[in-house]
Structure 1
Amino acid sequence: MLEIIQEINWSPLFISLKTGVVATFFSFFLGILFAWLIMRVNKKVKWILDGILTMPLVLPPTVAGFLLLLIFSLRRPVGGFLNAEFGLRFVLTWPGCVIAAVAIAFPLMYRNARGAFEQVDVNLLYAGRTLGMSERRIFWKIIVPAAGPGIASGTVLTFARALGEYGATSMLAGNILGKTQTIAVAIASEVAGGNYDVAGFWVIVIVLLSFVVIAAINIISGKGMRNTRGWY
């Protein structure tokens, strides 16, 4: 095992962690924004938008990756425009890893945030309006703190999903060592090359990281339950 560790190229770990953090950052704010918007529209529009926003959660990641490839390819209008006007390229680049991770992990943040918002006591909102608070202030000062445990759990789950994303990442960003090769992509690559020892090492790493994520979720959920009991 020591010999394997000495021969390991650690770039997949750093790329995965960097991708997970950045993707979680974007997914956090997008998830909260869309969860808040969904709560304010009528039921028919809500069902349609909710289906669209949740779809990446049920689609095979390779399908999502293929759709992203069609959108951001330099030969397509969107990809060509972004490259020509802003110099942004997502195919076979690290930003492509982030886009793929956001597309796959975002629904987890959105669903958890929406579920947490729906559990907030409406009497708290009425109290805020009675005190003359604006809707924006009510959202940030009342709704978000009250939904804190659910949002925190969603954030951790989003990070975990972004960290282990493979299908969409391999389709859009490819498998370039030191550039776009994440841990999940590295495992598939090493298995394909017959390097089972190295693949096994990365499996151990991702299992340990997943265990840390699960522990974090349990801690956050435990605090949320204690806080809930305190209200009664």
Structure 2
Amino acid sequence: MTSSLWGLSSAEIEALLLSFRISMVAVVSALPFAIIVATLLTQRHFRGRVIVDAIVHLPLILPPVVMGYLLLISFGTRAPLGHWLLTQWDIRLVFSWTGAALAAAIISFPFQVRSIRLALESIDPGLYQAAATLGAHRIDRFISITLPLALPGIIAGATTAFAASLGEFGAIITFVSNIPGETRTLPLAIYTAIQTPGGELAAARLAGLSIVLAFLGLLGSEWAMRHIRKREHS
């Protein structure tokens, strides 16, 4: 049965909304950690900085299927950590949308860290020194100087991570499988349509929708950053 929304079926709309839900949860939940990690990585005298930097960017190097497999052996119901979460807190990440959000968050985490780190490194250190001479504590400097000046990088990182989460496939299908209504996101719906006889039109329609969403996301990010820069210079 076909819906009136862009000619998408109810199952395709379900996959689209689930993708938005998973991507939003992935970005929002990872953003505070991305800000903290990016701040730490800007500290030149931070011990173990190189190792932390390598670990953070590891998802960019490893195949997404490998990341999904690592999540599966870590958070599966038979794995020690996954079994503990299930028995103690009734949390089951494997084969659930929350597990898909976790996989998307890990895969897209480096995008947030890199953008925020670049924004932090572009801040003039003299601003911190001037604020310190005026009696501003570290937390005050972070709230009044760091966050406002790093806002374009935060928005750019969050937008890029959101787009990457929408397009994530390997880690999600490996960790949480391809379950309709639970873990079947937009990329998995495209994969399912390709594997279904006569599903070429649906696959093309969903692929086109993915391209449009990615394009709108990039335009929205650019508009937001330009708007913020105008406010800063006004």
TM-score computed with the length of structure 1 as normaliser: 0.92
1:133 equivalent to 2:136? Answer: yes
Residue type at the aligned position of 1:116: A
Which of 103, 107, 112 is equivalent to 1:104? 107
Residue type at the aligned position of 1:210: A
What is residue 123 of structure 1 aligned with on the other side? 126
1:219 equivalent to 2:223? Answer: yes
3-state SS of the aligned residue for 2:163? Answer: helix
Moved over 6 A (4+): 1-4
When the two structures are aligned, how many residues end up with a matched partner?
230
Provide the rounded CA distance (Å) in 2 between the counterparts of 1:186 and 1:64: 21
What is residue 156 of structure 2 aligned with on the other side? 153
CA distances 1:138-182 after superposition (whole Å, capped 9, x unpaired)? 111101101111111111111111111111010111111111100
Give unmatched runs, 5+ long, in structure 2: none
Query: Per the alignment, do residues 7 and 220 of structure 1 end up closer, same or farther by CA in structure 2, a change over 3 Å counting?
Result: closer
Equivalent residue runs for 1:38-57 within 5 Å: 38-40=41-43, 42=45, 45-57=48-60
1:5 equivalent to 2:7? Answer: yes
8 A Cα contact 1:149 1:224, kept in partner: yes
CA distances 1:177-215 after superposition (whole Å, capped 9, x unpaired)? 111100011111111123111111111111110010111
Provide the rounded CA distance (Å) in 2 between the counterparts of 1:92 and 1:127: 52
What is residue 27 of structure 1 aligned with on the other side? 30
Residue type at the aligned position of 1:198: A
Residue 217 of structure 1, CA deviation: 2.4
Which of 199, 202, 211 is equivalent to 1:198? 202
Query: Per the alignment, do residues 145 and 59 of structure 1 end up closer, same or farther by CA in structure 2, a change over 3 Å counting?
Result: same
Which of 147, 154, 176 is equivalent to 1:173? 176
8 A Cα contact 1:31 1:109, kept in partner: yes
3-state SS of the aligned residue for 1:147? Answer: helix
CA distances 1:86-108 after superposition (whole Å, capped 9, x unpaired)? 11111111111111110101111
Query: Per the alignment, do residues 183 and 6 of structure 1 end up closer, same or farther by CA in structure 2, a change over 3 Å counting?
Result: closer
What is residue 113 of structure 1 aligned with on the other side? 116
Residue 226 of structure 1, CA deviation: 4.7
Query: Per the alignment, do residues 189 and 71 of structure 1 end up closer, same or farther by CA in structure 2, a change over 3 Å counting?
Result: same
Residue 38 of structure 1, CA deviation: 2.2
Give unmatched runs, 5+ long, in structure 1: none
Aligned Cα RMSD in Å? Answer: 2.0
Residue 37 of structure 1, CA deviation: 2.1
Residue type at the aligned position of 1:61: P
TM-score computed with the length of structure 2 as normaliser: 0.91
